[in-house]
Each structure stands twice: as structure tokens, then as C-alpha cells.
Structure 1
């Protein structure tokens, strides 16, 4: 089929800036094109990966299958009342462009998530979160298409099985549904969440507390802590912050009295993975073409011409050292292919 590209380079479609290719590549904005493609048993039986802008993926080698990329665009206000607004957003819209749109309209609920790279369609898959907010709180429903059957389905918030950096699209239905659009329910009334760290103080540096200054503060913090992937290849936080139960945490705290933590719920504790990694001596580590970012040890970086497997090998070394010292097995946020 003429709209399938073969041996397609993915260098510009992964933020690790890895020079990898895929056997077949297919972009679509009309669902029928995807349905027609997958009627062909050759394409239907290939391994598949769904790709947005590649901000949470690590290719370890050439992908011998079909990469599918939805390119649905558009931001449209569907419904508005005294308290909230429903906004329909195409899956290929830039996430940060959407947060800017919401801030300019004084629509509240995603302002702390400003600056996160990637697309709107990827946001619910990962249940992106930052500075005390998670996207799941603002999702009304997700419209997706089943790759195998071509059936379209709306997944409402409770259907998505959202968890910490997790959803049904990352677990049970991984690579089975392609997200086409997301409907967000945002508040029209100010409802700020400034409890995370020193976020409130950083916002006040820009003046009064409002959505515009929250966005400015969050973007400033991110710029201070996180590398620009256009210059230094990375996928943001490589590891999740581990969550442990109370008895394990108390035992750990007795050995490491200064260990930082957040209450995850009434019985569990979330420990910053960055602290664990730094205490194991990995901050600013470099080894040939790969390394650990000097300002944030959660971030693994491509120092130039790295291979995906080099990054995986470094991640394993870090994870093994944390396990040995603290008894905690780190889980990856990044999708390793």
C-alpha cells in the first residue's frame, strides 16, 4: 500500500534521539485507512507499536514490525456550563500546546502539567503527572479504535483503570487500542494545587497566584531541572518513584533517617527514586555515549550516538545497585521496545 513507508527512520520521532528504523511505518488521520490496512493479513499479523512523538519510548534496535502513528489534530470546546467545560482534543496535538490553550482560556486542572513533552494521545496512556497533578483527574473520556476489529470505543474515566503512571492502555490493552481523541473536563473556577514542594513560593516569584503564573513557574522549574531533548536525548524520568508499605518503610527509615517520602495513601509511602539513585552514586555519571543527568538523576541521557541497548544496560546497573543497597526494585516509566 502506497501510504505505508518501508525502512522508515525514527530519529525525529523519539526524544532519546536514537538513530533507529522500523520495517514499516503508517500515519493516519482517518480511521477507515487503518481499518483497510489491517484487512491485509500481512500487516495485521506483524508486531505493532503505536507512536506519538516518542517521548516515553526507548528502541533498543530496529523494530521489525509496523509502527502506527495517529495524526489527529484539533482543539474544540464541546460544552460549557457555570462550573466546567468539555474540550475535545486530537491525539496528535502537542500536550504543552494544549496546556497553553487551557491557561489562556482560564480553564483549570492541567496547569501543573505544563511543559511535559509528548502528545495529547500519550497523556492518558501514561497517566502523566507532575507537581501534585495527574491528567486522569481531568479526563472525561478517551475515544480509541481497536487495532484488531476496527471498532471504536469511548473509555470514560473509570473505564481507564488509571494508576500511578499507568492505565488500561499501558497494561491490559497495551498496543491494542489507538487513541484518536481525548475529551477533557476542566474547571472554570480557580482550583489550584500548590502543595507540592516549593511550588507556591515559585509561583509568587511571578506575582499573584493565577493560572498564568503557575504555568510560568512550572515551565521555569522544568527548565532548571530537565534537559532539552532537542540538545540532549532523554525521555524524562526513566524510573517510577517506588511505593512501599508501612512496615518496609519504617525498617528503611531506621537505617536511613533522612530518607524523603510522600504519603501515597493511608498505608503506603512513595520514595523519590532520584534520592535512591543519587545515594548510590549515579548522579552525573557518564560512560561513553550514555549518562545520568547532573541536575536530576532520574533522567538517563544520550551523550551522542548512543544505542538503545546502551541506555538499557545503564538502567539495569542503576536498578541493581538500588536493589542491593535499599532492597527496592525500581520500575521503569519508559516503554522499552
Structure 2
């Protein structure tokens, strides 16, 4: 049994808006808290018409303020887009407002296209190269300041906000192992190097002040419904969204369709299905079997679930089904 958590992209569905997405996000977070999910993470993306969580720290504050016990955090903050000091101040503020409940996952990718990355970073050529140094600098801001330290994160100083490293390749696994940090792999959209990254991380892990042994979180998309057919139909919204992104035309999350073969070519189908291989769709028993197999394959310490489902009620119901169907797999967080 391991903890289950939720990764929310605050989807903006076709014909809707960001305000609705944020209301839905809070409602889902409250449900996840009642069901015993451990964490509720939000991700930084930019210039994406279907994702509302660009100002990630602000949305984390919205969710933490509307819940009581569930851990809330970033999965993740794309650190090269920001000054480490600014992130330390933002998450120091969150940790001061909601003590013991804030996580900070860090990624190296821009979370957007290259044109938008230039607008965000200005120094795009060197920003990602400094990622290890920026992580170390950010880590230092959360430790107690030293006498004579010229720059401090206030708030942030001494708060020891938990850091995670995120990755979809081997780089993040190597850095997390070297720094002795927990590691989360983005297998929900980039599964190709999942097992290699986990093995590399575990084999090379160096204990640190914050973590004495490797700790791996893996991610999967889940579409749970009353029947296998309906679960597979719910999954077509994400398939369409991913296909549009690959075609260079990102958009709002579309409604599900009955026949994806009328939309994609055989080559596109192969590409999308490969990227979304860590997905489970179907009835309760199908979902339980799929997630149990995924946990057994990876020997993960935690499982992060995401669900790009068009209908909000169906999305809520999907996480309820998972919690019920996987009761024998899921360590539940205590609620108050």
C-alpha cells in the first residue's frame, strides 16, 4: 500500500474559462482531501489555452486556503523561468500561511514552447544549464540563515519547505540521486525512460539531511467510469488535446468522442498512444488491475494520478472510483 495523490492542470474545457477551472480545481481538491489522497499538486504551464495554472503559486494558495489537511504543492515549478529567491519567497509565504502542508516540486523544462520560453526567461540559452546551481541556491534559502548572510528569503528563511525533483528523462534522476532528494517521474506523458530513470536514481542515491533513502513517485493518467467503454471514451479528451499539441495547435480540453480513428492518422495514433502509455481507462476492476500492475512494475513509493476529463462531474466521479476500487492499494491520508 502506498499513498495516492492528484496532479491537476486546472483544465479549461471547450467553451469555458479560467474562473470556472479554478472553481472546479478547488472542488476536486476538497473531494481528494475527503477521500484520503495525500497530495494535491498543480503544474506550471504557459501560453496553453487549455491549462489555467500558469501562476502556480497563486493557485496553490487558492487550494490550500480552501482545504484543511491535504498537502498542496507544485508539480512543478519550472525553476529556470524564475529567480530562486522569488520562488523561495513565494513558497516561504505559502508555508507560513499553511504550515506543514506545502510541497515544492522543481522541473527544468520551460513548460511551454520556445517562443514563449524566450518571453519568460530572457536568458533562455543558459537558464536550464544553471538548474543544479539554482536548486542548491533555493535549498539554501529555506535553511536557517548564517551570520552575515547578505541575502535571505523573508518569508522562507529556516522553513525547510520540502523539495522534490521532477523529470521526464535521466537528468532529473541523476540530480535527485546526487542531491538526496525525492524524485517524481512524469510518466503520464513521457514514459519511455521511466524504468531506466528509476533504476539510475535508486542505484546512485546519496542520503542527505532531508532523505535517508530513495523515494520515487510515478505518475499515470486515469479515467475511471462505470464501464470500460465509458472510461475509454472519457480518455479521448486527453488524446485529442495531446494530438492538437503535437500538431502545433494547443487548445482547450475538448469533449470526448466515440471514434478517434476519424480524427487521427495511424502514425499519429501510434505517437499519442506511446506518449500516454501510462494511462488506465475503464471500469473499477479494470482501473484497479491497471494501477496495481503499474505499482508492481515500478515499485513506486507514491502514485500521482491525473485526469484530463472534460465533464467535471465525471472527473470527480473518476477519483471516487479510484479511491473505492483501490482501497487495498492506497494508504489514506488522515482527515480532520
Question: One fold, TM greater than 0.5?
Answer: no
**Which interval holds the TM-score relative to the shorter structure?**
under 0.3
Identify the structure with the greater strand proportion: 1
TM-score (norm 1): 0.28
Structure (1/2) with the larger helix percentage? 2
Task: Report the structure number with the largest CA radius of gyration.
Answer: 1
Structure number with the bigger relative contact order (C-alpha 8 A, sep ≥ 6) is 2
TM-score normalised per structure 2: 0.28
